Amino acid sequence: MTTEFHDDPEDESSSFWNKERPPVLLSVSRYRRWACPALTTVVLFALIVALAASNSRTWNRLWSVDQDLSIMNRSLSNTEQMSSDSQKEMMRLKFAVENNKDTLSSVSQALQQLSTLDSLKRTVASLRCSLQQIMNNGSQGAGCCPLGWDPSGSSCYYFSKDSLSWHEARDHCSSMESQLAILVSDEDWDFVSQHATRNFLWIGLSDERTGKWEWINHTPYVMNRRRWRPGQPDSWLGHGLGTGDEDCAHLHNDGRLNDLHCSTRLRYICQRHTQ
Ligand SMILES: [Ca+2]
């Protein structure tokens, strides 16, 4: 009968171990099986989030750079437009200058022709005067000036090309039956001033003889400050040209008077009456 009851401790033990241990092993295995992908997923997610944040910052920077480039492009476009406008303006001005140059050249040629005509006119007048002199057996007609002299009013004026001291100029004029110019009327002043634009010119005015300004024929000079340059006459002593101050008057290139030391060599104006 005992043999009918069979109780095998080994089997029970085996059964116990076989039935209880697998769930523990399964749990660890499951844990390991899911832990790794989960961790991987978390890491990947973190990387994605980090990349997304980084991409967002990069995108913002790119957008900012794009905005800057747009502004620079607009600025460059405006600059190109301004450059184009400036170039057109320069071309227009160049064209205007070229046109004006032609006009000025024409005016210059016309003035030169007029000057030539004026010179010819004076020459013809002198020749006519000489012809009348021959026809009148040596006595010249009224209103004539010698060749190389310019008529104005009742006088003939000689504007020298050489330079002499005041006394040498006085003597040279005298040798041509004339004197250093005496300017009385406004017409006289206006006429000689037109010839004083480039050179200093001695005239017949001095205070050397009496210390008072007088004309070369000893007639007194009535002081007119309007005819003198500012601060003149100043009788300057610092000229370094010998004794005495500035005793002789000359026309400055603006047509007004200044006193200089008489030994200074200047061009000069001789004057004589028309014949
Ligand atoms: Ca002076």
| pLDDT, tens digit, 9 for 90 and up, residues 146-180 | 888 988 989 999 999 999 999 999 999 999 999 99
Does residue 131 form part of some domain?
no
pLDDT, average across residues 117-129: 75
pLDDT band at 49 (very low <50, low <70, confident <90, very high): confident
CA distance linking residue 25 with residue 274, whole number of Å? 150
More confident site: 124 or 193: 193
3-class SS of residue 152: strand
pLDDT of 5 strictly over 50: no
Can you give the residue range of the structural domain that contains 179? Answer: 155-273
User: How far, in Å, from the CA of 179 to the mean position of ligand 1?
Assistant: 23
> Does residue 31 carry a pLDDT above 60?
yes
On whether residue 164 sits in a domain, the answer given is yes
Is 14 a member of any domain?
no
Among 122, 264, 269, 161, CA closest to 205: 269
pTM of the model: 0.54
Does the pLDDT of residue 113 top 50, yes or no?
A: yes
Residue 29: Cβ within 10 Å count: 11
194 assigned to some structural domain = yes
Q: How far is ligand 1, taken at its centre, from the CA of residue 264, in Å?
A: 12
Say yes or no to pLDDT of 13 above 60. Answer: no
pLDDT in the model for residue 205: 98
Q: What is the pLDDT of residues 65-107, one digit of tens each?
A: 888 888 888 888 888 888 888 888 888 888 888 888 878 888 8
Out of 118-122, 200-204, 210-214, 254-258, pick the least confident.
118-122
Give the number of domains in the chain.
1
Alpha carbon of 266 to ligand 1 centroid (Å):
14
Joined tokens for residue 198: 């480039």
Q: Measured in angstroms, how far is the CA atom of residue 228 from the centroid of ligand 1? A: 10
Q: Is residue 145 part of a domain?
A: no
Distance 234 CA to ligand 1 centre (A): 5
- Pull the structure tokens for residue 42: 């978390």
Query: Is the residue at 225 inside a domain?
Result: yes
Q: What's the CA-to-centroid distance between 196 and ligand 1, angstroms?
A: 17
Residue 240 in domain: yes
Predicted confidence (pLDDT) at residue 190 exceeds the cutoff of 90: yes
In the reported structure, the alpha carbon of residue 132 is separated from the centroid of ligand 1 by a whole-number distance in angstroms of 45
- Please give the Cα distance from 23 to 257 (Å, whole number): 134
Instruction: Answer with the residue of higher pLDDT: 61 or 229.
Output: 229
Placement of tokens 């040596």 in the chain: 138
pLDDT at 251: 96
CA of 229 to the centre of ligand 1 (A): 9
Q: For the domain that residue 213 is a member of, what is the CATH number?
A: 3.10.100.10
Count of positions (residues) in the chain? 275
CA–centroid distance, 155 to ligand 1, in Å, is 28
Q: Is residue 148 part of a domain?
A: no
Residues with Cβ within 8 Å of 158's Cβ and at least 6 positions away in sequence, in order, are 148, 149, 150, 173, 176, 178, 269, 270, 271, 272
Separation of CA 157 and ligand 1 centre (Å): 25
88 alpha carbon to ligand 1 midpoint, in Å?
Answer: 54
Q: Which residue has the tokens 């050489």?
A: 162
